[in-house]
Amino acid sequence: MSTTPGAGLDRRELTRLGPVRRAVLLPSFQFWTVLPTLALVVVVLVSAAVGLEHPSANFGTVVTWIVWWGGLLVSFVLVGRAWCLVCPIGAIPEWLQRLSPWWGSRYTAGLGLPWPRRLRNLWLPTALFVVFVFLDNGYGMSNSPRMTAGLIAVLALGAAWVSLVFERRAFCRYLCPLTAFIGTCALTSVFELRRRDPAPCRNACPTKDCYRGNARRYGCPMGEFPGGGLESNLHCILCTECVKSCPHDNIALRWRAPGRDLWAMSRPRLDGACAAAVIVGLATVVPLLALAFLPELRSLLARLLPAGVPPNDPPRLAAVVLVFGVGLGATLGLLHAASLLSRWASGSARVTTRALFTRYAYALIPVGLSKLLADLLDHAFRTWGVLSNVTSALLLDFPWNRVMPERASATDLLGPLAVYGLQVALLLGGLLWSLEALRRTAPGPAADRASGVASFLPIAGLALVLTLASLWTLGSGLL
């Protein structure tokens, strides 16, 4: 039995629109979305590898750490893991693995081994994301064209190697240093891919084509099972393979309430919750501690360790490691303490501290994401014109980017106070968003309304403290 195409559509569904529907059902849809990104990544790689070493004059570093990073942060809220859809570092190894960009192939390359069961979680990618951020804070990766090129090359080679050993997109799900960050932040999106009706999937689809694939189309490359009740954006890369492979036309792209996954997941996992807490800590607590203590801590460690030339300065690197350790430990500890207080205040014997910790961590994501977006505002409004400068430099010596333009300028569109005002508004918006998610997540009153409110206050207080820390960090330069 097959449902009628288009049946059950509602006004939120994008696949009811003819152009959208034709696009996602096109077999080569992903190929054409990846192709322009691939061309840009190749230019960025060449520019960063052999071009000008000054970071603000190098096309590769500016596009990577301002344009790409900024676009990545904004895309979370709009379209979830859309970057993973167009990322050539994940797509090309997948094409290599199946010996085809989109058409069906009788042969495959590689061993096709299943990913080790013990590593099917976010613990390893969360640790790799911490290393990724440390490379910038410790070694200044975003200010080094050569390190930027090295990062891209390592990711590309790593993804290719993993695809030849393991099945599907094992690298993208379990090893990419950005997958935990992208996946957890994608929970805030206003966009989702879900099944329309559970009945056809349960009763009339023994083949499970959205997961396994069929003779015409491939199954989900991330190992998800959309027909089985996909309930969050955590691992969905919007490749739309399930839309094409479903024989019942039962998978849809649609709008939804912003951040609904933050409170609506029925089975939130501890590894994802810790990933969310780490991201929030890296965005809020770690910058605060670095601003307050890093110079003094470096001076103290210089008495014990030999000094070097930055970025290879052992005392500073050790100080950054300590700041990271203390900052992330403090974030996890504060979240656990708030969860414990909330459980006590709820008066409910059925709610565990671990369960509250797991749910609260996800609900705090808007606090961390708003801080990252606030940092982006400073770059966007106070260094306007840098992209046009580096593009001019690239065109003078395409694609090698070895010639400095005769004239270069960076314009402050807004002054420091005006930028800070926008940052304050953004941070307060993130706080309100988290408070709403926490309100929906907090346990209901066991006996009366007062206990319900009391259970909400500890975690709401933590969200407020983290926001105040971000406000102080961003505003310290104005003092």
The pLDDT of residue 85: 95
pLDDT (0 to 100) of residue 172 = 97
Q: What is the pLDDT of residue 5?
A: 40
Predicted confidence at residue 47, as pLDDT, reads: 97
Residue 378 is predicted with a pLDDT of 85
Both structure tokens of 172:
């993208």
Q: Which of 217, 246, 218 minimizes the C-alpha distance to 230?
A: 246
pLDDT tens sequence across 129-154: 999 999 999 999 999 999 999 999 99
Q: What is the pLDDT of residue 445?
A: 43
Question: Would you state the pLDDT for residue 451?
Answer: 66
The CA-CA-CA angle for residues 85, 88, 124, to 5°, reads 80
> What is the per-residue pLDDT for 479?
66
> Is-contact 72 379, C-beta < 8 A?
no
Alpha-carbon gap, residue 340 to 342, rounded angstroms:
5
Whether the CB-CB separation of 257 and 15 falls below 8 Å is answered with: no
**Strand boundaries in 173-212, DSSP class E:** 191-195
Look at residue 6 in the predicted model and tell me its pLDDT.
42
Ranges under pLDDT 70 in the chain? 1-11, 407-410, 443-452, 479
Question: 311-330 b/e with 16+ CB inside 10 Å = b?
Answer: eebebbbbbbebbbeebbee
**What pLDDT was estimated at residue 443?**
64
Give 59's contacts (C-beta < 8 A, 6+ positions apart): 43, 44, 47, 51, 390, 391, 393, 394, 401
